[in-house]
Structure 1
Amino acid sequence: MSYRVELWLRVEETLAGLPEEGCREVMELIAAALVAREAWPAPGGWEIAERFGPRSWIAFSAALDGIDIVGVGWVG
């Protein structure tokens, strides 16, 4: 089964401004969050889940068919 990932505009802008290492780490977090469906918040609500890497974080909400990335950060 495939899932959808939606990046909010400010997330896309943030990713575009990160160095290659930061972008790669954030994308790895997104991929890890996508496949860990048991860690998703309840679909369709306003609940946000977070996932942390060594130097980055993501915040996301869930839908039935995937996740919406609502925030990212990287400490460079």
Structure 2
Amino acid sequence: MAYRADLAVQVDEALMGLSDDDRQEVMELIAEALVDPNSWPAPDGWTWALRAGPRMWMVFTADLDGIDVLAIGEIDVALHAA
């Protein structure tokens, strides 16, 4: 079964402002979420899920046929330095 990923307008715009490496990491997070439907929140609800990589994170919600990426961001490296 094929799944889809929709990007919110803000996410689509944010992706354009990322470096190639950060954009690649976000796309990998999206792909990881799509192939793991067991990690999706309940479809068509107001719940969301968070996936994080080494530098980037994304928040998404689910529909029956895929995910909607609501937000992406950069992990603050200073928080992990302690």
The residue that corresponds to 1:66 in the other structure is 66
Q: Give the TM-score normalised by structure 1.
A: 0.96
- Separation of aligned partners in 2, 1:39 and 1:69: 14
The residue that corresponds to 2:79 in the other structure is none
Unaligned runs of 5+ in 1: none
Higher alpha-carbon Rg: 2
Contact in 1 for aligned 2:57/2:75 (Cα 8 Å):
no
Once the 2 structures are TM-superposed, how far is the Cα of residue 74 of structure 1 from its aligned partner? Answer: 2.2
Q: Give the TM-score normalised by structure 2.
A: 0.89
- Separation of aligned partners in 2, 1:22 and 1:37: 23
Report the identity percentage: 51
Unaligned runs of 5+ in 2: 77-82
- Separation of aligned partners in 1, 2:22 and 2:75: 8
**Superposed structure 1 runs of 4+ greater than 3 Å apart:** none
The residue that corresponds to 2:80 in the other structure is none
Aligned length: 76
Q: Which amino acid aligns with 1:49?
A: A
Structure with higher RCO (Cα < 8 A, 6+ apart): 1
Once the 2 structures are TM-superposed, how far is the Cα of residue 4 of structure 1 from its aligned partner? Answer: 1.0
